[in-house]
């Protein structure tokens, strides 16, 4: 991992070549006259312990994306209250050799839905595709924000059920359901009454990826808003747009969660508009 020693901050993932976090975060660092200390590094999940040991000695901060948000947990010294509840970490802060873990995905989704659709999360009926690390943090944010109902659809129903059980303990007011992504009948019924569909699986990162669900079900709700956490055109976004639905990709989520990470690392107010412009570079 010697190739990363020129940076103080990194985003890691597998894959990570697509990430625009460096240009976004470096815009914020440059705004404060702190240079461009942020880079990216592909890390095999089997080597996450080795990476954290390296970070402990060489870095000041890290962002984590797929598939590291949960596998990193055993290697973190201290978790923020939100990260501990969510059991998901997307931000590390390193001080005096100690590694602190945070989750800013919740702040990201709240900012993104407000920015893209002009909506607060409170009282919405939501269908979420996925139950991984980012989905976990997002689900808790939805519950804590007073979302009326949340249906979690996942390839593994057991994983979706486990996530709903966690949310019940910390946000008992939200109506919860867990279904299989392949259960066309139940997914269709949930989409029919939903205000918002969140796509939070990793499907769509690669051009050859299939859609995460039967896209024909989108025709059931002409008022549905679709948000995909991936920040380039995906099958679900393309089809939703063809149907005339409101759609948005994950760029605003990345910007707002990145802003929260920047503030954790530096103690300075994140220049969100500067970060937004940095994100757009080389698009």
Q: Which of 69, 122, 185, 193 is catalytic?
A: 69
pLDDT in tens, 65-112: 989 999 999 999 999 999 999 898 999 999 999 999 999 988 899 999
pLDDT in tens, 151-194: 999 999 999 999 999 999 988 899 999 999 999 999 999 999 99
pLDDT value, residue 103: 94
69 is catalytic: yes
Q: Classify domain 2-103+252-280 at the CATH class level.
A: alpha beta
**pLDDT value, residue 41:** 96
Taking the model in full, what pTM does it have?
0.88
Res 283 pLDDT > 80: no
Token code pair at residue 26: 């470096």
The C-alpha atoms of residue 65 and residue 187 are separated, in whole angstroms, by 27
Q: Averaged over 27-42, what is the pLDDT?
A: 97
- Helices 105-117 and 251-266 sit at what angle, rounded to 10 degrees? 140
Percent of the chain topping pLDDT 70: 98
Sheet holding 9-13, edge to edge: 38-42, 9-13, 61-64, 91-95, 98-102, 78-79
Q: Which residues are paired to 43 by β-bridges? A: none
Domain residue ranges in the chain? 2-103+252-280, 106-249
Q: What does CATH list as the number for 106-249?
A: 3.40.50.720
Kindly state the tokens that stand for 171.
Answer: 């946000």
- 282: pLDDT confidence band, cut at 50, 70 and 90? low
Torsion, CA 201, CA 151, CA 69, CA 91, rounded to 10:
110
* CA distances from residue 245 to 67, 196, 219 in whole angstroms, order as listed: 30, 11, 9
Q: What is the mean pLDDT of residues 257-263?
A: 97
């Amino acid at each position: 991992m010697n190739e990363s020693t020129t940076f103080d901050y990194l985003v890691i993932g597998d894959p990570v070549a697509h990430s625009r976090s460096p240009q976004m975060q470096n815009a914020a660092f440059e705004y404060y006259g702190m240079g461009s200390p942020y880079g990216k590094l592909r890390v095999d999940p089997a080597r996450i312990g080795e990476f954290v040991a390296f970070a402990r000695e060489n870095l000041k901060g890290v962002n984590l994306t797929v598939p590291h948000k949960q596998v990193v947990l055993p290697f973190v010294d201290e978790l923020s209250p939100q990260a501990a509840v969510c059991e998901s970490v997307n931000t590390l802060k390193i001080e005096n050799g100690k590694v602190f873990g945070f989750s800013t995905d919740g702040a990201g989704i709240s900012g993104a839905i407000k920015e893209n659709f002009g909506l607060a999360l409170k009282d919405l009926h939501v269908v979420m595709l996925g139950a991984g690390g980012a989905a976990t943090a997002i689900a808790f944010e939805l519950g804590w924000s007073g979302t009326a109902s949340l249906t979690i659809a996942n390839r593994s129903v057991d994983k979706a059920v486990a996530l709903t059980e966690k949310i019940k303990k910390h946000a008992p007011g939200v109506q919860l359901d867990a279904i299989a992504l392949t259960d066309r009948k139940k997914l269709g019924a949930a989409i029919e009454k939903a205000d918002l569909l969140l796509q939070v699986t990793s499907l769509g990162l690669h051009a050859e990826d299939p859609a995460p669900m039967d896209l024909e079900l989108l025709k059931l709700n002409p008022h549905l808003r679709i948000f995909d956490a991936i920040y380039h055109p995906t099958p679900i976004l393309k089809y939703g747009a063809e149907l005339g639905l409101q759609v948005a990709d994950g760029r605003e989520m990345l910007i707002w969660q990145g802003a929260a990470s920047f503030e954790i690392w530096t103690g300075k107010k994140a220049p969100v508009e500067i970060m937004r412009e940095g994100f757009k570079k080389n698009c």
